[in-house]
Chain A
Amino acid sequence: MRGALRALHRFWFAPETPVTPPLMRIVLGAYVLFGMLPRDLRAVRQAWTRPTELVVPPATLDALPIPFPLPPELGPTFAAVMTALGVMVTVGLLTRPALLAYAIGYIYIGAVASSWGHYPHHKVLPVQMFMILAFAPGATAWSVDRLLMLRLRRRKGAPPSLPAALTGPPVPRWGTQLILVVIASIMFAAGLAKLRHTGVRWADGETLRFYFRGGTAVLPSTARTDSLPPQSRRPYFVGTIVGPANVAPEVAWRDGFGLEAYTYMVSIDALGRVVRKWPWTATAISVSTLLVELTMPLLLLTPWLRSLYLTAAIGLIVGINFILGISFAPWIVVFLCALDWEWLVDRVPVALRQLKAGRLWPPGRLLQREGAPG
């Protein structure tokens, strides 16, 4: 019991040089600021024109101190504040309050989108990362805040060196660990959801084969859109719903059919059309997806498993993008930042040299225990 508690304490509170939290803050901050925020602010402004009585706002929107929908006169202020916060998060100015406020602003943006029936799964990880970074030890490393502190210390004499001042002393690693646990938990949830709602038969590849064929929304024959360009027909589309065949009447009491889940919108890319030609690929992708998602928590065990699983997850996301046309680019940024870069920089060159010398297994120092003589 005491040993387990000690291991748990070591898992969360062992000291580390802060790398993942500041790297995540800077790289993800810059990506969100330039790659996501402009489009997200446009979407928030458009929400004003929609009939709000037709949505059931999520509880998070009620709890936030920002009105829904955002009145047009507040649009420019909200945009200016979010842009300023994005810059402050990235460069690290008033870092922790800025991270917290940015996370709140982004929860609002995500909740607005989800209240209109478009749950932004691609924003889940970035927003949760900002929430963690607002508290994580070491998240203020390599920041303007640290530079200002250094100037202050110089005035008082005996200043530390610039790199030491920017990095700071070793910190408890719970911020990095929490980032990894949240990643593992969300990826595991994706695998669990497939098993929970369909059982192991999801692995037979039929569901992905259906998506690879495309066209999961229909244009009703009563929608007169012939004169419209294809993109303008989207408001007339109807999302299709699946339900199992032969549902018991007491379960299907609403409509006699038994409607269960809505389908997702996909846009089959070139790779999707290629994959479609070989039906076995859908089964192979289904099995490997389940395998990666359900065993994702193993990334918490060792640095090499952490690198292996995060790389596999990046592969999965890239595959989804090129086959189904669904972009989860912000997740790739999160996974890249969450790699154990210190460990990779230390181990990979040696492993590559060993591989070059013809010793294929074990791959260099990659599989060595941490702390073993190098």
Chain B
Amino acid sequence: MEQPLRAVRRHAGELAAAAVITALLLPNLAALVVPYESFPYTSAPMFAHYKGPGTPLYRLRMIAEPADGRPEREVHAADLGLNGVSFSRTFFGDVYGSIDPYSPFGHHPGDTPRAFEERLGRYFGHVTAVLARRDTAGAWGRLAGLRLEAVRLDQAKRDAEVHVVGRYDAATRRFVHQWGREP
């Protein structure tokens, strides 16, 4: 018993260094195994996707449906006080989710339509609250709901094909996933 203790005491400095090395290195090595980004650790996914001539480009858009008969209007990041590209990224990564369940932009393993609906319901609840708070000029009025659409872009990056993903109902505060369901 005394000998191992003496050995530990003799190498205490190196053992402490090994603990520090492990603690600082482990999150970097973990990012090699499971891609993730949590500052200051990253699996460095910049440009790590494929975009060939036949790879489609998409965008997600939110359409506000006013309750008072005003025309529908697209909600832009600026309407929420945010930067456009950053807003698109946080919404896609943290809320919407990639087809890759372990995408570095946000993990949604085992995602289901039900979990998707709950996530989007919560998020759109916040969006309607922020719109109402910022709408000092009454430009938006009362909203009946928000519609989420995925849009395929053409070669000139104009909206080409629209798929309605689902709709948030402001009265029930629920998001209903519509894509792939019978009307």
Contacts and interface: CB of A to CB of B under 8 A. Distances in A.
B25 A185 contact: yes
A55 B80 CA distance: 12
A178 B23 CA distance: 11
A62 to B, nearest CB: 11
Contacts of B44: 121, 186-187, 189-190, 193
B118 to A, nearest CB: 14
Nearest to B73: A222
Question: Which 10 residue pairs of A and B lie closest in terms of their CB atoms, listed nearest first?
Answer: A117-B86, A239-B88, A235-B78, A237-B84, A190-B44, A117-B89, A255-B150, A193-B48, A117-B90, A261-B49
A244 interface: yes
27 contacts: A50-B81, A51-B82, A56-B90, A56-B95, A59-B38, A119-B39, A123-B40, A132-B24, A182-B24, A188-B32, A206-B51, A207-B52, A217-B85, A220-B76, A220-B159, A239-B84, A240-B157, A241-B57, A241-B59, A243-B56, A244-B55, A245-B55, A254-B165, A256-B150, A256-B180, A261-B49, A263-B51
Contacts of B38: 58-60, 111, 114
Interface of B is mostly: mixed
Interface residues of B, number: 85
A234 B14 CA distance: 52
B61 interface: yes
B150 to A, nearest CB: 4
B50 A55 contact: no
Interface stretch (B1-9, B97-105, B168-176): B97-105
Contacts of A6: none
A159 interface: no
A207 B77 CA distance: 27
A286 to B, nearest CB: 9
Contact of B28 (A189, A206, A210, A265): A189
B84 A236 contact: yes
A211 B48 CA distance: 12
A31 to B, nearest CB: 17
Nearest to B134: A51
Interface in A57-104: 58-60
A169 interface: no
Given A117-B85, A220-B76, A255-B150, 5 more contacts: A124-B40, A182-B25, A193-B45, A235-B83, A256-B180
Interface string B16-59: 01101100110011011001011111111111111111111111
Interface in A221-258: 221-223, 234-245, 247, 249, 251-258
Nearest to B130: A51
A12 B15 CA distance: 12
Interface stretch (A22-30, A32-40, A196-204, A346-354): A196-204
A277 B81 CA distance: 39
Interface residues of A, number: 96
A114 B25 contact: no
Given A234-B83, A257-B152, A120 B39 contact: yes
Contacts of B90: 54-56, 115-117
Interface of B: 13-14, 17-18, 20-21, 24-25, 28-29, 31-32, 35, 37-61, 73-74, 76-78, 80-90, 92-100, 103-105, 113, 116, 123, 126-127, 129-130, 133, 150, 152-153, 157-159, 163, 165, 177, 179-180
A206 B52 contact: yes
Given A12-B17, A259-B92, A262-B93, A238 B130 contact: no
Given A192-B32, A254-B165, A118 B86 contact: yes
A247 B180 CA distance: 14
Contacts of B93: 117, 262
A147 interface: no
B158 to A, nearest CB: 7
Interface string A144-183: 0000000000000000000000000000101000100110
A30 B38 CA distance: 26
Contacts of A218: 59, 153, 157
